[in-house]
Amino acid sequence: MSKVMSLKDAVSLVNDGDTIAIGGNVLHRAPMAAVREIIRQEKKLLKLVKTAGAHDIDLLCAMDCVETVDAGFVSYESKYGLATHYRKAVEQGNVRANEHACYTVICSLRAATMNVPFMPVHGLNAGDLLLENDYFVVVEDPFSGTPVTLVKAIVPDVAFIHVQECDQQGNARIVGPKFEDVLISRAAKQVIITTEQIVPESRMKLLKDQIDIPGFLVSAVVKTPQGAAPTSCYQKYEVDDRSLQSFMAQKNKDELISYLQSYEKKDYSGGTKLW
Amino acid sequence: MVNQQYRASDMMTCAIANLLNDGETVFHGVSSHLPMIAMMLAKRLHAPNLVHLNIPGGVNPSSVTQASYSSAGADLFSGAESYFPLEEVFDLSMRGRLDVAFLSGIQFDLHGNINASVVGSYQKPKVRLPGGAGSAVLIPTAKKAIIWRTKHDKRTFVENVDFITTRGNLWKIVTPLCIFQYKAGKLHLDRIQPTSSLEEVKANTGFELSYDEIKYTNAPTEKELSLLKKIDPFDYRSIEF
């Protein structure tokens, strides 16, 4: 049975208040078409999870979709500066920043993949992050008696992952760096794949040893050519510098709505066609 | 021969390259163009077997010269010799096998406390910073943690940091004015950059300087500068300046 659906239908699987894991890393292979559709559907109070985010988290914060962000790093890279909207939202108290150490996001997702409530994390033994946050707890290792830090499991309700290709069952192949995407596909309750192209199952079968996310873990497949833009998609396109610069120039919500509208046609261009 | 025509970015890149040894496993994260170029330079100079690890997971990328370059981007992967993803780089550090990690921050104090999180309070910050990324787990576990910071002023090197993202096990902090070394729980002035002076470092540091003797880093050599032009023709090392 095909899991191919429209971007609108796939994103409607998200409920207000859900924990959303976002694939990619900083300016690379972020599922931006899905992020923009989340904003169009005015989802609220989302709890975002990502090791290192940039445009995705910034845009969702700008448009008031976010309650908390669990991440180690939220910023553009040097050239584009800080994530202004995320910063403002946290400073004004509208969004809570749950600062992690990147690796602790990984460990909290690893805990989710094993359905255990927490994961011991080596290394996290100093600093105020331990004191200020309730998702880190230092306990005595019952075996050795030495202190060990635990990080609470994070079970995403929905993971959005953008890939270069998958079939209509959701068997997906990530070309190039996979970042934390394979891990989040195992941690999340539902996985939504957006993809540059949908390829025949017969072709994917030939590449079965290169499939990163098997279809049985996937709830929905959405064809979104250029779906990671303006972030990069390895071997397909680079970071869209012009688009990011134009985003940076837009300060208020009204201006950002026109930025989002400029992507609307592109985001929906995949329809529900297979190939 | 010493070349007088160099900039702070060249000088810092060379100073950092000279901190790296052959055969070491070395990691840099996002927004880390300067250390990335320093690693490429060290590999060309004295450390051909240095192992370059990064966020996209491309081990030993052959080049970092593409114009659309990002320090977590595609060319770190496309010309690499193998794939070793970020979560495994962290695991490597946890088991004590990462030699060097490059990290940054916004405030540092005499006791080696590092703030990359907030200015003001954590719950209601005056300024929310990008976050320490991997530093809170890498600084305690990497054999040597090198911080680079292109600003050296009293707002950066402070009496007390607003928030301790992490502390301890720091090795060096490299700035345009000097290199600090962390020893016996304190930041010591290790070397002054050739373009600066003890007075200038003092005037721009918000805590009392401790030092044993006055030493200077070497100015970049002609060979280093000409290699830098080859490795980094688009001058990514200067992005933060």
Q: What is the pLDDT of residue A258?
A: 92
Question: Residue B160: pLDDT band by 50, 70, 90 thresholds?
Answer: very high
Kindly report, residue by residue over A180-226, the tens digit of the pLDDT. Answer: 999 999 999 999 999 999 999 999 999 999 999 999 999 999 999 99
Tell me which residue in A28, A52, A183 faces B133 most closely, judged by beta carbons: A52
Q: pTM for the complete prediction?
A: 0.96
Per-residue pLDDT averaged across A5-18, rounded? 98
| Average pLDDT for chain B | 94
Q: With a CB-CB cutoff of 8 Å, which residues 122-181 of chain A face chain B?
A: 122-129, 132, 176-180
Contact A51 B58 (CB under 8 A): no
Name the residue of chain B whose CA is nearest to A127's CA: B166
Q: What is the pLDDT of residue A90?
A: 98
Where in chain B does DSSP place strands (E)? Answer: 25-27, 51-53, 58-59, 82-83, 100-103, 107-109, 113-115, 118-120, 125-128, 144-148, 157-158, 166-167, 170-174, 178-183, 186-192
Supply B190's token pair: 């290790």
Q: What is the pLDDT of residue B220?
A: 96
Per-residue pLDDT averaged across B121-144, rounded? 96
A242 and chain B in contact, CB less than 8 A: no
Per-residue pLDDT averaged across B133-142, rounded? 96
A17 and chain B in contact, CB less than 8 A: no
Q: What is the dihedral of CA B97, B20, B66, B151, to 10 degrees?
A: 110
Spell out which residues of chain B touch residue A71, defining contact as CB-CB under 8 Å. 131
Distance from A169 to chain B by nearest Cα, in Å?
A: 26
Tell me which residue in B72, B113, B125 faces A28 most closely, judged by beta carbons: B72
- Span of A31-45, A70-84, B86-100, B220-234 with lowest mean pLDDT: A70-84
Which domains occur in chain A, in start order?
7-117+153-262 (3.40.1080.10)
Name the residue of chain A whose CA is nearest to B70's CA: A77
What are the residues whose beta carbons fall under 8 Å from the beta carbon of A143, sequence distance 6 or more? none
Kindly report, residue by residue over A17-48, the tens digit of the pLDDT. Answer: 999 999 999 999 999 999 999 999 999 999 99
Residue whose token pair is 């900039």: B7
Q: With a CB-CB cutoff of 8 Å, which residues 61-80 of chain B face chain A?
A: 68, 70-74, 77-78
Residue B45 has pLDDT above 90, yes or no: yes
Q: With a CB-CB cutoff of 8 Å, which residues 214-233 of chain A face chain B?
A: 232
In B46-101, alpha helices (H)? 75-78, 86-94
Residues of A179-210 as b/e, b for ≥16 C-beta within 10 angstroms?
Answer: bbbbbbbebbebbbbbbbebbeeeebeeeeee
What percent of chain B is modeled with pLDDT above 70?
A: 97
Residue B1 has pLDDT above 50, yes or no: no
Supply A275's token pair: 């190939």
Per-residue pLDDT averaged across B58-70, rounded? 82
d(CA A222, CA A225): 9
Q: What is the pLDDT of residue B168?
A: 86
Do A217 and A184 meet the contact criterion of CB atoms below 8 Å apart?
no
Contact A102 B134 (CB under 8 A): yes
From residue B197, how far is each of A213, B122, B194, B200 by CA, in Å? 56, 36, 8, 5
Kindly report, residue by residue over B2-38, the tens digit of the pLDDT. Answer: 456 899 999 999 999 999 999 999 999 988 999 999 9
Per-residue pLDDT averaged across B132-139, rounded? 95
Kindly report, residue by residue over A88-115, the tens digit of the pLDDT. Answer: 999 999 999 999 999 999 999 999 999 9
Per CATH, which fold does B1-102+218-234 belong to? Glutaconate Coenzyme A-transferase (3.40.1080)
Kindly report, residue by residue over B72-107, the tens digit of the pLDDT. Answer: 778 899 899 999 999 999 999 999 999 999 999 999
Q: Which of B123, B137, B138, B232 to mutate to test the interface with A (most CBs of A within 10 A)?
A: B137
Contact A26 B133 (CB under 8 A): no
Name the residue of chain A whose CA is nearest to B143's CA: A123
Q: What is the pLDDT of residue B69?
A: 64
Q: What is the pLDDT of residue B100?
A: 98
Name the residue of chain B whose CA is nearest to A25's CA: B72
Give chain A's largest Cα–Cα span. 59
> Could you tell me the residue ranges of all domains in chain B?
1-102+218-234, 104-172+191-208
Per-residue pLDDT averaged across B39-47, rounded? 97
Spell out which residues of chain B touch residue A77, defining contact as CB-CB under 8 Å. 30-31, 70-72
Residue A172 has pLDDT above 60, yes or no: yes
